Each structure stands twice: as structure tokens, then as C-alpha cells.
Amino acid sequence: MSTVNFKDLNRLGYGAMVLEGYYGGIDDNQAVEVLRHCIEKGLMIDSADAYGNGHNEELIAKAIKGQRDQAFIASKFGIVFDAQQSGSDVETGWGFSLSINGTKSYVTQALDASLNRLGTEYIDLYYAHYPDPNVAIEETVEAMAKAKDAGKIRYLGLSNVTADQIRRAHAVHPISAVQYEYSLWRREAETDLLPTLRELGIALVGWSPLGSGFLTGKVDTVNEGDFRTNNPRFVGENLKANQDRFAPLKEIAKDLGITPAQLALAWLCHQGDDIYAIPGSRKISRIDENMAAADIKLDEELLAKIDRLMPVGATQGATLV
């Protein structure tokens, strides 16, 4: 069994989705090297059966070989790509719909397939990727709790859920973490979700904490084939408006002698001890740069300034969830 407990993790982990070509390519050997580096540094690795349609978990299998007990692996289930499987259609704000299956039998089936791909007997933190609109969240969580009792999962998580769904799920079995988009350009979690999580003692794991790369200040345009062409925040007038809105962030980072990515992650770390984040990068040097943000101190005056510059709802363009 893994020797790494959720509460002992670095609050900045690693999002492995980036290894599947959504933001540009990387070969498998390099990807495994990146993952091994993350394990060595004690970072939670976040994956999903949907990333690369299972390929992401296969990469992780190679990286954890011989050191499973040193790693903390999170994965997710529920997005269905297989035409043989049925799911409920869920519209996203990025112009495509997803097919989601949260039935009891599918939870068991998806978990066993993930364990098989990962080459491990347990997943440390297992999330329902999206709630299935046609299945009660209680049913999904009951199946996850059963898998935990069987030793196949250590901690239960939910992703992209509402405050109400969290309350109902938590009443069935304690939920350890909720994953939701959270960053300087997506702060809506603060209004409803975060107060509920705090009341129930559940951690928030912020996905796309660098705004899918936007908050690094390095994305001027997105090219054809880049997954971000689906994201309305990166397109046309929205992109221009967002660049103008966030220009002061770059200046603040420069004055502090840190990178914009580090400022965005340091800001997240200042939002509470219960906030985790899983930035993704294909480059080891950037992973180290991002990790170092956990030690950057921002004073109250600066935090208040950032609040004024980038309040909830400041970014233009629809969100995925």
C-alpha cells in the first residue's frame, strides 16, 4: 500500500493530461521520465481513464513500476468513449457534449479497467469525473464506497459537481476531495462550492490552475489542432479582452522576480490549506518552476490588489462546466 497519505501531499501536484497531446506532442519515453520525476518529488499525479483514452494510465503504469508505494495516483471514471457503452449526454460550455455513465455496474467495470491499465491493485484517489444527470449521485458513490471496502480505492473524490450533489454524496460516504476548475481566471468556486466543502471538511483540488496555460503569460494565440481552440476564452475578442485584463499580472510577477505561472500558483496556495492544485507541463524544468510556487509568500496588500484586478467573473468566455 502507498505510504503517501492525502493530508501529507504537497499542495501543488501534477496534472498528467498534458502528456496526451492536447497542448502539443510528447513521446512516451519522455512522458514516463516526467512522471518519474513527479513521483520522486512527492507530487500527487492526476489522471483519468479519459486522458488519451486509457493511454495516460498506461504511461503511469510504466512510471510507478517498482515504486508503487512511493506514488500517489488519482484517476477518474465516467466519460464514455466506447460506442458499446451507453451514457447520458452532458453539454459543455466548450461546444461539445460528453457521454457520462455513473451507474453502479459501470463504476466497477471502469475501475477494474483502470487498475488493469495502471498495473496496480489500488488507486489512491478515485473521482467520478462528471455526475451522470440520469443516475442519482448516491448510487455512484455507493459503488465507489464498495470498491473502497474491497481495497481498490483509498480515498473517494468527485469532480465537476454542485454543492447540493456534494452534500448528498458525502452523506453516503465521506468524500476526501472535489476537483473543480479553480484559478485566477476561474474563481466561481469561491461563491458556493468552497463554503460547502469547508463546512464538510473536503479539500478542493483546482484543475487547470494555470488557466490551461493562459496564466503563464506565454500563450498569445492557439493554433489549429490545439485543444484550446475549443475553449471560448482563447478565441477572438475574448482572448484579446482576457489578455488586456490579465496584463497587470505579468507586471506584478516581474516586480516580484517570479514568473506569471508561479504568481498564479502562489495565489492559489494562499487561498487556504485545503486548496490543492494540479498544474500540467511536459517539461521537467517547468514542473520544478511550478512546484517552487508553494514557497512564495504574497503579502496581504498584494493579495488585496490581485483581488481587485481579478475578481470572480472577470474573465470573458464560457467555461467547460
The residues annotated as belonging to the active site are 51
User: Residue 200 or residue 321: which is nearer to ligand NAP going by CB?
Assistant: 321
* Least Cβ distance, residue 108 to ligand NAP (angstroms): 21
Neighbours of 135 (CB within 10 A): 21
Q: Which is nearer to ligand NAP, 131 or 154 (CB)?
A: 131
Q: Of 122 and 280, which CB lies nearer to ligand NAP in the complex structure?
A: 280
Minimal CA–CA distance to 244: which of 200, 181, 310, 289? 310
46 binds ligand NAP (CB under 6 A): yes
DSSP percent split of the chain into helix, strand, coil, nearest 5: 50, 15, 35
- 122 binds ligand NAP per the rule CB under 6 A: no
Minimum distance from CB of 135 to ligand NAP (Å)?
18
Q: How far is the CB of 85 from ligand NAP (least distance, A)?
A: 19
Instruction: Say whether residue 23 binds ligand NAP (CB under 6 A).
Output: yes
**Would you state the cell numbers that stand for residue 88, as one nine-digit string?**
447520458
Residues, the chain: 321
What is the separation of C-alpha 192 from the centre of its chain, rounded to a whole number of angstroms? 19
The DSSP bridge partners found for residue 292 are: none
CA distance 206 to 289: 18
156 within 8 A of 173, measured Cβ to Cβ: yes
114, 120, 176, 212: residue in contact with ligand NAP (rule CB under 6 A): 212
Determine the interface stretch with ligand NAP among 97-105, 115-123, 161-169, 275-283 (rule: CB under 6 A): 275-283
The one-letter amino acid code at 45 reads: I
Q: Which residues contact 128 (CB under 8 A, 6 or more apart)?
A: 76, 77, 78, 102, 107, 137, 140, 141, 144, 157, 158, 159, 161
Window 133-172: contact mask with ligand NAP (x via CB under 6 A): --------------------------xx------------
| Min CB(28)–ligand NAP separation in Å | 15
Q: Say how far apart CA 44 and CA 71 lie, in whole Å.
A: 7
Decide: is 101 part of the binding site for ligand NAP (CB under 6 A): no
Q: Cell numbers for 91, please give them.
A: 453539454
Determine phi and psi for 40, rounding to 5 degrees.
-60, -35
Residues paired with 177 in a beta bridge:
157, 203
Residue type at position 186: R
Shortest Cβ distance from residue 68 to ligand NAP (Å)?
20
Q: Contact with ligand NAP (CB under 6 A): which of 88, 99, 208, 242?
A: 208
131 binds ligand NAP (CB under 6 A): no
Taking the least distance from each CB to ligand NAP, the nearer of 4 and 19 is 19
Among the listed residues 282, 284, 305, 309, the single contact to ligand NAP using CB under 6 A: 282
Nearest residue (CB) to ligand NAP, 4 versus 17: 17
In this complex, which beta carbon is closest to ligand NAP, that of residue 295 or of residue 300? Answer: 295
From the CB of 132, what's the least distance to ligand NAP, in Å?
14
Instruction: Please state, in angstroms and rounded to a whole number, the distance separating the CA atoms of residues 182 and 269.
Output: 11
Nearest approach, Cβ of 169 to ligand NAP (angstroms)?
15
- The interface mask with ligand NAP, positions 52-91, x = CB under 6 A, is ----------------------------------------
For residues 22 and 172, what is the distance between their CA atoms, to the nearest angstrom?
Answer: 35
Which listed range, 34-42, 235-243, 280-288, 305-313, lies at the site for ligand NAP (CB under 6 A)? 280-288
| Residue 46, phi then psi, degrees to nearest 5 | -105, 125
